[in-house]
Every structure is written in structure tokens, then in C-alpha cells.
Amino acid sequence: MNAIADLFDLSGQAAVVTGASSGIGAGIARLLGRAGADVVVNYRSSEHGARAVVKELEDAGGRAIPVQADVSKEEDVARLFEEARRAFGTVHILVANAGLQRDAPAHEMSLEDWRTVIDVNLTGQYLACREAIREFRRRGMVPETCPALGKIVSISSVHQFIPWAGRVNYAASKGGIMLMMQSLAQEYAHEKIRVNGIAPGAVKTNINKSSWEDPEAERALLDLVPYGRVGEPDDIAQAALWLACDASDYVTGETIVVDGGMALYPGFREGG
């Protein structure tokens, strides 16, 4: 192994990735596994997708297990971590990724659609972070494996700071995630738990398929992306790998925006 690969070496460390049966979560699970981590591939409904990610990791010589759990349910999240402990002994890394959208104009949005998005995106990340922190503290420091007690990567969105009409529930959940991530980072840094976020822009996954699947929609989307392409799950996974590994050991409470420039107010290139 060369020195650069050493920087990203996660062998001996176990990771839980929520919402890992497809999209960004699957991309992150694959890359952490390729870096040597044991991976818990969490899914809510797509067992098929989760098993495909697990198989890919096993075929490459890694260790991975699929675990069904709805992150918005306290008992499911407790079980997710129990199964992680049973399989791999402990957890060093949580990637809190599971999320969804239920779009509607604010005046027409049902309370159910508001609650579902807050419950999964925000409360779901909180429950997973709480369980991860409990596990990090239970295990205690093992400096030979990892200089941190534990590492959390919270997958947010550019909509943690860009308002988004028609998605008040989603933007509120992502804004909440940002301050939750920073507050947890502040609360646990002295225990050597690092908590960071990634704010993806437009990434080709099922959540936004209608915005890129036909060329006209994709053109309209690209008006918002100065870098001129829609992101891929690997664009996010590569940032997640850096935050999860020990090359970023001095980084906590930070958000990496991975968006092809979407947050640079592209309309101002010619306007303003």
C-alpha cells in the first residue's frame, strides 16, 4: 500500500450508512468498503438494493451486512446498532444519509407530508447520531485503530441554506440538520467525536429523477449548476470518505458543499 492509500485506509473500522440501498448512500457504502471499512448497509424498503451493495463489497473481499430499519423509529435505530455491534463488534463511523422529499405548495401541504420529512430527515439523523455517540462512548478510545472516538458524517443539502419554494418541509429539515450537526460537534469535540456535514447540490438519484431524466428538464437544471453537469453519487462519496477517514482528523463542525457551484448564485454572473 502506498502513502496516499494509507491516508484513506479504513481497515479495522466499521461504518453504518443509513439509506444505503441506492443513490448517494449506496455510493458512500461502496467507497467506504473499498477503503477497507466493514459496512452496515441500512435500508428501509429496498432489500434488493441493499443486498446488491453488500454483494459487491463481499465480492471485492470486504465485509458488509444489510440491515432493515426505518430511521424515524427509535426501536429500529437501536436494533440497527445492535446488529452492527453483533456483526463487527463496534461502530467507528456513522454516515447519516437517509432522506426523502414530499413536495407541495406550503398552503396545500398535508401535516403528514410535513411530519414524514421532518421525522425521516431530521429526527432520523438525530436518532442515528444519538445511537452512534452512545456506541462510541461505550467502546472507548482505541488509538491504534483510530485517533478519534468516532466520526459522524451528516448528509444534508444545499437547501440547508438555499430556501426552496414548494419544499418547505425539506428545506426546514436540512436547515435543522446543519445546526444539529454543529451543535453535536461542539458538544462532543472534547471527547474526540468529530461531526461534519456534506451539502450536496443536484445529484443524479431517484429523489430528483424528474429534474434530469429528460433532456429539457436537465437543461433547466443545468442553468443552476455553473460547472455544467449534474453530480454523481461518487462526487459525494469521495467527500464522505475524506470526512470519515483520519486524514480529516482536525476537522469538525464543518460542511463541505459539493454542488458544482450551485450555491454561488449563478444568476449573478450576468445579473446584479
Single residue of 52, 207, 247, 251 touching ligand BGC by CB under 6 A: 207
Asked whether position 97 contacts ligand BGC by CB under 6 A, the answer is no
Contact 258, 240 (CB under 8 A): no
User: Active-site residue 126, yes or no?
Assistant: no
Asked whether position 202 contacts ligand BGC by CB under 6 A, the answer is yes
Greatest alpha-carbon span in the chain:
57
Residues 6 or more apart in contact with residue 84 via CB below 8 angstroms: 14, 16, 40, 65, 67, 90, 91, 135
Asked whether position 54 contacts ligand BGC by CB under 6 A, the answer is no
The residue (of 92 and 159) whose beta carbon lies closer to ligand BGC is: 159
The residue (of 57 and 168) whose beta carbon lies closer to ligand BGC is: 168
Asked whether position 22 contacts ligand BGC by CB under 6 A, the answer is no
For residue 202, give the nearest of 62, 24, 2, 46 by alpha carbon.
Answer: 24
Single residue of 211, 227, 238, 264 touching ligand BGC by CB under 6 A: 211
- Of 74-82, 87-95, 154-162, 183-191: span binding ligand BGC (CB under 6 A): 154-162
Could you tell me how many residues of this chain bind ligand BGC (CB under 6 A)?
A: 9
Query: Phi and psi of 208, rounded to 5°?
Result: -125, 25
- Give me the sign of the Cα torsion angle 167, 170, 173, 179: negative
Contact 22, 206 (CB under 8 A): yes
Asked whether position 101 contacts ligand BGC by CB under 6 A, the answer is yes
Q: Which residues form the interface with ligand BGC (CB under 6 A)?
A: 101, 157-159, 201-202, 207-208, 211
User: What residues are labeled active site?
Assistant: 170
